[in-house]
Chain A
Amino acid sequence: MSSPTTSEGALAIGEIRTGFVRHSTEVSLEEASAVLRLVPGEQVRHAGRPRAYAVSPAPLTGVDCAVPSARGRRVQGVGTVTSRATITGGRVLQVCSSATLVRSRAGYRLPWSHYLGRPGVVECLGRVDLRDAAAGFAEAEGGTRGIALGSIAEQVMDRVQGSPLLDGRLPLRAPRGSWRWAVEDGEPLFRFTVLRDGTRLVRLAVPGHGAADLLDLVEDLALHDWLLGTVETILGRAGLGSAPPDRTLRHVGPLVGHVLHHWMPAARIRPELVPLWDAVDRVHGLTRQWDALVARVRDQLALDTVAMLAGAAARRDGAAGPG
């Protein structure tokens, strides 16, 4: 796999999409490997511990587009975008499309063979301010985003979801989660913004860690943030505590069966980055909220069980009673 790395004066940007695999059951590691074979002849990497995880090889997409800018500067970028699809726990599919922006030495567009030799690198033809580009991509709501990494990620995701190995019978539906991130060089930095449509923006710099390490971190954050949002939405529908037990069960059943056991923060990020995960978690309270939701589900199920048992007992007594 070729992953973007930040070298001196470089900026890595990317978009992540998160959703459920379109399949009725969890896919096995073998199935996941077959589904993720996006590049002929290249291997899918996978691991079984601490939970099932498979990563696709990285297909490349050629781009010739505007470079993002918060101040509306117009700079052309040419190169390739690299994508990777992962399946976590046989249920959650994530696609990340990313590129490293560097200044072009030539200053004009070169033949494609030049760019194909630098997978995942987009060369900026003209004077580019990388801080401005990072802000335009992953902080400002306005500005020009230029490079359509989100569309590329969506397309790769559609391709995976369209695999004939997946039966399309989803046990539960959810909108795709959308994250835009920028990894910069320099002083430590973490800026997190949520847009009105729910898109998460994150700007990040951790001295000593390249984009590949930080991508794992951002991907893991995106996964858990999305899981939390999805569970929250579904529990909202279930009308916990107010709706009749069968409605609650209809919504909560699939959650217990397919979602709740996927919570495993920081399962596959570098140990040095775990404190950063924890810090984000402390501020945004992901785990606290998750624990509260899960406890609520269990308590409600217990309560419904008691109510149903009591109802059954009353019916039995009624039948055996007078007459």
Chain B
Amino acid sequence: MLVIATSDKGGTGRSVTACNVAYRRALRGHDTCYLDFDFGSPTSGAIFGIAGIDHGVASGGLHRYLQGDVAEPERVDVWAASSRRSLRARPAATGRLVLFPGDLGGGEFTMDTDVLHRCVKLLVRLDEEFDHVIVDLSAGRSHAAEMLLTATADPELARRMEARWLVFHRWTRQHITAAAGLVHGKSGLVQFAAEHGHRKGSLLEAIRFVRTAVISPDDAAARGLQATQQTWLRRVNSDLNDRAIQLGLGRSFVISSIPLDPVLQWREQILTDADVYDNLANAGTVEAFSRLAEDIESGETWSRP
């Protein structure tokens, strides 16, 4: 299965969530790979704690592969290469976790038929050995997003590999509007898909939203807010809900709500269960990652209400 993570704005926690989902899938015994298609700022190396590739590899990453400079993109075995001890101690019965990093100073590229062909070839190839292929796109409309939309319409890929899209947005008015624009807007994903070989409406069925950095009003008391602030928060939250429904981002299209987590705000990293025991991470966040990792596969999440 192909899982594509995207967002309209930066700073949504898309990459860190996608990396954590990949980690959780692997923990559950599924062979998982993570493709860093955020060519402008490939940070997955840093999130997985792999020394020396904080901002992509010096040569042979995905960007160079798609350009045709190398025959195969570089792979990094996260369990073996991470500098975090808690990741290197790979538990028994876990799946493989392989990172395909981007390139240092990769930047955008123009999509032509050769690039598209290499993309399809790579995805078909990875489907042979991985249960889950997770692709992290850059924020906003990118050539990489268009490439994946075109690639997933390719009959060779489409008949073999189911593609699911996760659109990340923060729980704010601006972010909701931006995410709706990215999906439903005039030159949004749905429109582009319809023009590039996807069956009408099929992409919409494959898109779910991930709300990030969410503060639930019910938790607000615990955060020490005053009564007036809580009332205000409740009203704003309800307005946001109305707005989301209006723009097609209502509950039934939401796959996950990730709570605001201070640890992730300061340092984007994989949250292990040990981090929770050490009180470094919130159990709620890890729980949300874990549930999302489960729901990207389960049928119920993806059936229309």
Chain A residues in the interface with B (C-beta under 8 A): 19-20, 22, 148, 151, 154, 158, 161-162, 167-170, 173-176, 236-239, 243, 247, 251
Contacts and interface: CB of A to CB of B under 8 A. Distances in A.
Summarize B's interface: helix, strand, loop or mixed.
loop
Given A236-B93, A237-B93, A19 B128 contact: yes
Contacts, number: 53
A162 B72 contact: no
Contact of B127 (A154, A167, A168, A247): A168
Interface string B40-84: 000000000000000000000000000000011000000000000
B239 interface: no
Nearest to B124: A162
B160 A169 contact: yes
Interface string B68-109: 000110000000000000000000111110000000000000
A17 B127 CA distance: 16
A173 B93 contact: no
Contact of A154 (B72, B95, B130, B161): B72
Given A148-B71, A161-B128, A168-B127, 8 more contacts: A20-B128, A154-B71, A161-B124, A173-B128, A237-B93, A237-B94, A237-B95, A238-B93
Contacts of A158: 121, 124-125
A151 B71 contact: yes
7 contacts: A19-B129, A154-B71, A162-B156, A168-B161, A173-B128, A237-B93, A237-B95
A102 to B, nearest CB: 26
Interface size class of B (residues with CB under 8 A): 20 to 34
Nearest to A175: B129
Interface of B: 29, 31, 71-72, 92-96, 121, 124-125, 127-131, 156, 159-161
A243 B93 contact: yes
A167 B242 CA distance: 44
A151 B92 CA distance: 32
Nearest to A19: B128
Contact of B93 (A19, A20, A151, A239): A239
Contact of A22 (B71, B94, B128): B128
A236 B125 contact: no
